[in-house]
Amino acid sequence: MITNRPEDGRAGPGRDGRVVPVIEIENLTKRYGTQTAVADVSFRCETGTVTGFLGPNGAGKSTTMRILCGLTPATGGRALIDGTPYRNLPNPGRAVGVLLDASAQHAGRTGREVLTLGTMVLGLPRERVTQVLDLVGLDKKAADKRVGNYSLGMRQRLGLAHALLGNPSTLVLDEPANGLDPEGIFWMRGLLREFADRGGTVLLSSHLLHEIEAVADHLVMIGNGRIAADGSKQELLAGAGTLVRALEPEPLADALRRAGVTITPTADGAFLADAEALVIGRAAAAIGAVLTELRAADGAGLEALFLQLTATASTSAPAGAINPSMEVAR
Amino acid sequence: MSAQTALPAWAAPGATQSTKISTPGMLTLTRIELRKMSDTRAGRWLLIITAGLVVLVVGATAIWGSDEGSWANYTSLATIPITILGPVVGIMTVTSEWSQRTALTTFTLVPQRGRVIVAKFLAAVVLAVVTVVITLVVAAVATAISSGDDPWDQTATSVATLLLYVAIYFAIGVGFGLLLSSTPVAIVSFFALPIAFSLLSLFSALETPIEWLNPNTTLEVLNSTDAISGEDWAKVLVSSLIWMVVPLVVGGVLTSRREVK
């Protein structure tokens, strides 16, 4: 799973000869009183990849990202960037571009001023402000408006500008597509993809599967504070069984269950069966069920897992929804 | 709103990583905090109103006041609005980080929160010095216009104590901001607590302790040209310890540990 990239000079071998991942989350746990927000979360982000950090609202994504950036102390475990804790980076904004909440800006400050303050901390020339405004598509008029008058989409662009300001090689973005129009989302995808293709590393969270699927090459799914799936996109999208749609799905599902096939319902009335199409076709023929769709499930399993994560309120990680090999992937 | 997708050379991942990357120095952080005090609408107006009140108080006294128009008198008068609104600037430099949620950006860029807190304290002190200089100039203009018997009575000592006086008030503001972290709570506490102390001093049993603890009375000696006795200095020390040092230290520790959301 972990692809060492010897051709990339940045993530060189560590002391023990192992390649140091750009972002390494290790057994991270965060408890608030009796509530566990993040439970034993581990994953890595490698150079040149976009990692999609997926999970329903309240799954622990933001908490994990805040711990990674030294804003929230962890109860246990650790989070490292380029092999060191965030707090130990000499000038973190030069190494990691962070956007955790685009709305967290002073309403009375102009966008240009927010970025100017940024260049001061980062020790960069003021010209960078104009350059970065240009890059994210905020024109002069928008830049001189107070952030209080910005739409959410404009705030996201400003937030991304702020993250890119220090010319980091790593980006940590929490729900950056929120509030962007479709054109803006398309643009951001292109930008992040190019950033990774040119040797950068992106950790990007979202509660929308499709938004992430389009740009990420590595997916980490979290639910109720636990990792539910972790692997490359190809790996997670493949081998998720067979998608079955029938006129009357229940009798067929029952028949398959009796035959020992694992059934996972999807959102739109179909279900995923952990068996080959042939087996399902035979079972359908045996009970006279009318099939309307029968195909390899590419990605539907991921979707089913994601829906299950969203639906379950229990504290345990959902099991059985996904091929065990995916769990092994990490 | 269209944007090019291609990353320009400067924005390529880590393109300028070869250039010097160092932790921002205290001077830089203080300059940033000073800038943040005046680059928002609220902050700017607070400073403008304070300056306006200084001019108004001094001007009104120069025009309609009694004959005792000396430089020290004018300075002392001009300092009154400053000790009322100055601490609010100090409070807001800290609390706005939480109410406007800019703490997220501030502490992400500078994870050593203690450095940011020290910078805020230093910025408040710098602002106090600037304020005193402006006050002295405004008072000098008023003195030049009006005619007193011995108008130029300001001494180096009285200017120094005045500096201390204003700086303590600004610092108390920062301390209250750090300790209470909410703008309304901090502002109300800052104004209500000394009043409560004054009321408590009506009970004879509490009179002596309050005499030592109420900053509104203990610090007053610093804003006058009268000689300051040893006991006065002791009272200044005790009351600033309680009103300034304790909130700064306890609030600083709390702010350093607080979770940023």
Prediction ipTM score: 0.90
Q: Which residues, 6 or more positions from A111, have their beta carbon under 8 angstroms from its beta carbon?
A: A133, A138, A142, A143, A144, A145, A147, A150, A154, A158, A161
Average pLDDT, chain A: 85
- A chain contacts of residue B108, beta-carbon cutoff 8 Å: 69-71, 92-93, 98, 100
Q: Which residues, 6 or more positions from B38, have their beta carbon under 8 angstroms from its beta carbon?
A: B44, B47
pLDDT over 80 (residue A44): yes
CA distance B240 to chain A (A): 32
Mean pLDDT confidence for A49-71: 93
Mean pLDDT confidence for A98-119: 95
pLDDT for the residue A7: 38
pLDDT for the residue B224: 81
Nearest-angstrom CA–CA distance, A190 and A234: 20
Q: Do the beta carbons of residue B176 and residue B190 sit within 8 Å?
A: yes
Which amino acid makes up residue B231?
Answer: E
- Of the listed ranges A70-74, A324-328, B104-108, the least confidently predicted one is A324-328
Q: What are phi and psi of A20, to 5 degrees?
A: -80, 120
Nearest-angstrom CA–CA distance, B147 and B67: 7
Q: Which residues, 6 or more positions from B177, have their beta carbon under 8 angstroms from its beta carbon?
A: B90, B91, B92, B93, B94, B95, B186, B251
Q: What are phi and psi of B164, to 5 degrees?
A: -60, -45
CA distance B47 to chain A (A): 15
Angle, vertex CA A95, rays to CA A162 and CA A8, nearest 5 = 125
Nearest CA in chain B to A62: B261
pLDDT-derived band of residue A148, with 50, 70 and 90 as boundaries?
very high
Other C-beta atoms closer than 10 Å to the C-beta of A238 total 18
Summarised one tens digit per residue, pLDDT across range B188-208 is: 999 998 888 888 888 888 888
**DSSP helix/strand/coil, A273:** strand
pLDDT for the residue B186: 96
Q: Looking up tokens 């938004």, which residue turns up?
A: A211
Helix A152-165 × helix A127-136 angle, to 10°: 130
Mean pLDDT confidence for B209-222: 85
Per DSSP, the residues of B161-230 read HHHHHHHHHHHHHHHHHHHH--HHHHHHHHHHHHHHHHHHTTSHHHHHHHHHH-HHHHGGGGGSSS---H
Check if A70 contacts B (Cβ < 8 Å). yes
Nearest-angstrom CA–CA distance, B243 and B248: 9
How many residue contacts between A and B have a Cβ separation below 8 Å? 153
Check if B2 contacts A (Cβ < 8 Å). yes
Q: Which residues, 6 or more positions from B155, have their beta carbon under 8 angstroms from its beta carbon?
A: B225
CA distance A134 to chain B (A): 7
Check if A131 contacts B (Cβ < 8 Å). yes
- A chain contacts of residue B38, beta-carbon cutoff 8 Å: none
CB within 8 Å: A72 and B259: yes
Mean pLDDT confidence for B14-31: 84
Stretch 133-162 of chain A: residues touching chain B, C-beta under 8 Å: 134-139, 142, 146, 157, 162
* Nearest-CB residue to A91 (from B14, B15, B21): B21
Nearest-angstrom CA–CA distance, A14 and A107: 44
Summarised one tens digit per residue, pLDDT across range A271-296 is: 888 888 888 899 899 999 999 988 87
Nearest-angstrom CA–CA distance, B172 and B181: 13
pLDDT over 80 (residue A315): no
Check if A164 contacts B (Cβ < 8 Å). yes
Q: For chain B, first and last CA: distance in Å?
A: 30
**DSSP helix/strand/coil, B7:** coil
Q: For chain A, first and last CA: distance in Å?
A: 7
pLDDT for the residue B35: 96
Nearest-angstrom CA–CA distance, B60 and B69: 11
- A chain contacts of residue B31, beta-carbon cutoff 8 Å: 120
Helix boundaries (H) for chain B: 26-38, 41-64, 71-99, 103-109, 113-145, 156-180, 183-200, 204-213, 215-218, 230-240, 246-257
